[in-house]
Structure 1
Amino acid sequence: EAPVIQITLFLTSIAIRCFRWKIYVNLRACMKASFLKYTLHFKRPGGTSRGVLTQKDTYFILLEDQDRMGIGEAGLFRGLSWDDVPDYEIQLERACRALESGETEPWNAFSAYPSIVFAMEQALRSLEGPDPFLLFHENPFTTGESLPINGLIWMGDLSYMKQQVAAKLAEGFTCLKLKIGALDFQEELGMLREIRREFSAGDLEIRVDANGAFPSNIALERLKRLSELHLHSIEQPIRAGQPDQMAELCARTPLPIALDEELIGCLETESKSALLGTIRPQYIILKPSLVGGYSGSEEWIHLAELYESGWWVTSALESNIGLNAIAQWTSTLGVDRPQGLGTGSLFTNNFDSPLEVRKGRLHYRSGKPWDIQKIYKICT
């Protein structure tokens, strides 16, 4: 197995370099680059096992080259992103200077800043596209092919969570993702049982996300209880950074496990391979803002397939600008399982866009314009 892994790692590194080169080959050093900060406000507080979210800061890298504009979102996630560091804005300024300089591979110095790498990739594709919001030429998403997505159920009291479930089912979702781990476990089991009594596994796919909330010594027993409800999977049952315990869980679990936070901060090809080779998860969750953009995500995909792990893509509470960039790329991957891309309606001050959720799918309404005036206003 070792020689196969080594060859695959080498080919993967070449593929990632080629992927990045494609979006850089026409870049001219005379362009101007800048960044700005923007704060997104939640319509209703979003509860997770790590706390309640009421707002989220995000950043945009802006490129100008004669009459063309490019924009990319650096979706920093406070308290979770590997690059949530005090000098983050200094690094964004460095990234802008690197882009302006015409360096052959300007992202090489920013591997420790996954969200900045992603913003650079987006901005360059945006600049080179037919318009700033078409990042992939004739991609299936913007030419009429919608993406299946899960409905996200935030933590709260049982009454609120049940209200969310009822609303998502009425909207036509056939896959729900529930945040668990903050309430009493028996109460959460009771709620899941109620859903299952009304909707079989054939009618409704249920995923749960513990965000690392389960103690390691009782996690397996909880997974056994959850598996009785015919769930699809559980994300990150125990906190990240315990590879041996997670490996044992993945080997013994009756419920498929998806790694999420475990991937954050794992930046080198060899360390990614070692992580998947040790843990052997059933799935991994790819959040481009947290794992190094398109190129970092595609590297994870290559390695996941090597180790026979499944995967899907999830947004990380970006604005519609970042969500659009993720959705277009995701559509090029030929996905068929529901993706985690339904977060565009969470904010009061998001940007009006062609993105629209209907009947459990994310659509791109090509006849609906982007709110260019609002975007231009924050950029000037």
Structure 2
Amino acid sequence: MITATYKKYILNFKNPSGTSRGILRTKETWFIILKKDGKTGIGETGLFRGLSIDDIPNYEEKLQWICKKINQGLEKLLPQIVDFPSIQFGLEQAFLSLESNDSFNLFPSEFTNGKAAIPINGLVWMGDKSFMKTQIKEKLKTGFTCIKMKIGAIDFNTEIELLKSIRKEFSAKEIELRVDANGAFKPNEALTKLQQLSALELHSIEQPIKQGQWQEMAGLCEKTPLPIALDEELIGVFSSKEKEKCITTIKPQYIILKPSLVGGFAGSKEWINIAEKQHINNWITSALESNVGLNAIAQFTYTLQNKLPQGLGTGSLFTNNFESPLEVKSGTLQYNPTVNWNFNL
């Protein structure tokens, strides 16, 4: 018999972090803890308030229900919680963790052996010009060759000037630049802005307009001079049929998977398979989980063997994260097996 409990945990940002949706100071997350025959399984259900499709009032009730029904097993439970993708993700982790010899080694590999690293982008948060410039310099100094910059909250011309200042010092061969608009552009102005951004030899832009506008996004993807990556667009699209319709309608250049928001490992794999049939590449991004969820995402990501820089550099954002073997070094995420976990709720 498996027993299951859950617990809420509030992560505190070291510095308030700006997005086009506002300033983040804390991040709520939840953990599912399984016990069986003296073994423990841990999974993080990375709820993201204001972004997750399962950000609804009865979220905790669903966690209670899952804990009561836990002995149905993963295979039977997952289809019953399709509209709770973050709980699907937490359950997948918890069962893998319970079955593992090491609660945190879910996908044993060269990565978890400390012999391989995952290339990642350096994330630059929104703020005033000097704050963003300071972050950019810090990322370059610590060895990142791919930088992702959040845009859409301050004046667009100021953001363009910031990007120009990077390009004056570093060519596209030296530094790959990605931008994430988080849906900040209006459809009637988006193409003009994409043309301005394209002149700066950027790698791609994430979600230029708000999700749910499939025809407008399809038109942009068809005409854009700058590759477009769908991100929020994938949230809340549950059935295989709807996922295929989304991809074949919009025809983006890339898709970005956040396992906490798209149904965990199984949900991510389904999106990847559908996109690959249309010759659309992808990368994986964390969604401000603690190191527990980030660790699971990183290990899963390594198994995919995707050579593009991934969005996994968020472990150092919080003052009260859990000590883990994850380390960011020279623009990569690495796993140091000599460092022990300190998971203490």
> TM bucket by the smaller chain?
over 0.9
Q: Distance in 2 between matches of 1:42 and 1:76?
A: 16
Structure 2 gaps of 5+ residues are none
- The answer to whether residue 69 in structure 2 is matched with residue 92 in structure 1 is no
Counterpart pick for 2:50 among 68, 79, 97: 79
> Do the aligned partners of 1:140 and 1:332 also contact (CA within 8 Å) in 2?
no
For residues 24-74 of structure 1, give each alpha carbon's deviation from its aligned partner in whole angstroms, at most 9, with x where no partner exists.
xxxxxx010110000000000000000000000000000000210000000
For residues 331-367 of structure 1, give each alpha carbon's deviation from its aligned partner in whole angstroms, at most 9, with x where no partner exists.
0001111000000000000000100000000000000
- The answer to whether residue 202 in structure 2 is matched with residue 231 in structure 1 is yes
Give 1:245 shift.
0.2
Aligned residue in 2 for 1:24:
none
Q: Distance in 1 between matches of 2:68 and 2:286?
A: 27
For residues 124-155 of structure 1, give each alpha carbon's deviation from its aligned partner in whole angstroms, at most 9, with x where no partner exists.
0000011100101x323202211000000000
Counterpart pick for 1:141 among 111, 121, 128: 111
Give 1:103 shift.
7.3
Q: How does 1:250-265 map to 2 (within 5 A)?
A: 250-265=221-236
> Do the aligned partners of 1:173 and 1:359 also contact (CA within 8 Å) in 2?
yes
Aligned residue in 2 for 1:151:
122
Q: How does 1:221-300 map to 2 (within 5 A)?
A: 221-300=192-271
> Residues 368 and 229 (structure 1 numbering): CA distance in 2 closer, same or farther, change over 3 Å?
same
Counterpart pick for 2:157 among 183, 186, 192: 186
Q: Distance in 2 between matches of 1:107 and 1:231?
A: 39
Aligned residue in 1 for 2:101:
130
Give 1:229 shift.
0.2
Aligned residue in 2 for 1:356:
327
Which amino acid in the other structure matches residue 338 of structure 1?
A: P
Q: Distance in 2 between matches of 1:95 and 1:196?
A: 50
Give 1:101 shift.
4.0
Q: Distance in 1 between matches of 2:73 and 2:302?
A: 30
Q: How does 1:1-380 map to 2 (within 5 A)?
A: 30-102=1-73, 105-136=76-107, 138-143=108-113, 144-372=115-343, 375=344, 378=345
> Do the aligned partners of 1:63 and 1:70 also contact (CA within 8 Å) in 2?
yes
**Aligned residues, how many?**
344
Structure 1 gaps of 5+ residues are 1-29
Query: SS state of the match for residue 304, structure 2?
Result: coil
Aligned residue in 2 for 1:6:
none
> Do the aligned partners of 1:140 and 1:328 also contact (CA within 8 Å) in 2?
no
Query: SS state of the match for residue 293, structure 2?
Result: helix
**Percent identity of equivalent pairs:** 56
Query: SS state of the match for residue 131, structure 2?
Result: helix
Q: Distance in 2 between matches of 1:369 and 1:298?
A: 30
What RMSD in Å do the two structures reach over aligned CA positions? 0.9
Q: Distance in 2 between matches of 1:332 and 1:109?
A: 27
> Do the aligned partners of 1:33 and 1:100 also contact (CA within 8 Å) in 2?
no
TM-score by length of 1: 0.89
**After the TM superposition, which of the residue ranges 139-148 and 38-47 deviates more from structure 2?**
139-148
TM-score by length of 2: 0.98
